[in-house]
Amino acid sequence: MSTLLEVSGVSVSFDGFKAINNLSFQIADAELRAVIGPNGAGKTTFMDIVTGKTRPDEGRVIWGEKSVSLLRMSEAQIAREGIGRKFQKPTVFEGQTVRENFLMALKKDRGVLSVLLFRPSKADHEQVDALAEEVGLLAELDRLAGELSHGQKQWLEIGMLLAQEPRLLLVDEPAAGMTPEEREHTSKLLVQAAKTRAVVVVEHDMEFVRRLNCKVTVLHEGGVLAEGSLDHVTSNSAVIDVYLGR
Ligand code: ADP
């Protein structure tokens, strides 16, 4: 599988403190990856760098077959390149139906006016049905998004991001606040989503990470401490020390 994103030798400091320290990270096309690490390890800053929100002081961030640098692009350009980000809290349009939320997501790149003037075609509705099916919301299409459970809102937002056809989706703590059933559904959804695009999941919940059954990257003090299967990294003595605070 070819490399989709290559971060190499990236460092970033805030007021002299190195939040990211010579970080290198690669992800392949259609790969699922979990990123774990204690609070302050640099997980959020890593996602901020990939999405262009934070500019590194050093290093390279290379994207796609053409090996373009993301460092020269604005956040909007990076999003158009196909990098989507799901923040921890769901942000859906609560006063709109699930279907309307999906339709807006389909047209988002065409600007506010085109969303207002938008008359969805049969093909648009079919695309919405397919997205709703993919995230498990087919039975909820006519409900107001505000009436959905926390888990369903998260799935809706993931579906809305998938509507933008990302090649890489960054997902921040998807399992937080979910019931065990919702967590199970979410893990299956992400495994499925990663069959056709790369998905990076930042997560604290180790049971959830286990369900993803994918390569795990452990961040610590802004760098990669260990990488491999969950069993491999959790048997690493440096990782155990970090988690036990030694
Ligand atoms: P994580 O997401 O793994 O908890 P973060 O990426 O949020 O870690 O933070 C890494 C380190 O960088 C932390 O010590 C945090 O306090 C620091 N940090 C992050 N953003 C800023 C900022 N804007 N200004 C100052 N320090 C920051």
Return the domain boundaries, the chain: 3-244
Please tell me the distance from the alpha carbon of residue 54 to that of residue 70, in angstroms, as a whole number: 11
Nearest CA to ligand 1 atom 14: 40
CA of 222 to the centre of ligand 1 (A): 9
Does 45 contact ligand 1 (Cβ within 6 A)? Answer: yes
Does 20 contact ligand 1 (Cβ within 6 A)? Answer: no
Does 39 contact ligand 1 (Cβ within 6 A)? Answer: yes
Residue 6 is predicted with a pLDDT of: 98
Q: How far is CA 129 from CA 15, 72, 137, 159, 238, in A?
A: 48, 37, 9, 11, 47
Residue 107 is predicted with a pLDDT of: 79
Nearest CA to ligand 1 atom 5: 42
CA of 19 to the centre of ligand 1 (A): 6
Does 37 contact ligand 1 (Cβ within 6 A)? Answer: yes
Residue 113 is predicted with a pLDDT of: 61
**Is the domain 3-244 a CATH 3.10.20.30 member?**
no
Residue 61 is predicted with a pLDDT of: 98
Residue 17 is predicted with a pLDDT of: 96
> What is the number of other CB atoms lying within 10 angstroms of the CB of residue 152?
21
CB neighbour class for 202 (10 Å; exposed up to 12, middle 13-18, buried from 19): buried
The ipTM assigned to this model is: 0.96
Task: Average pLDDT across each block of 10 residues of the chain; the chain has 246 residues. List them in order.
Answer: 94 96 97 96 97 97 95 94 93 94 81 67 94 97 97 97 96 95 97 97 94 97 97 94 80
Task: Kindly give the number of the ligand 1 atom that is closest to the alpha carbon of 37.
Answer: 3
Does 54 contact ligand 1 (Cβ within 6 A)? Answer: no
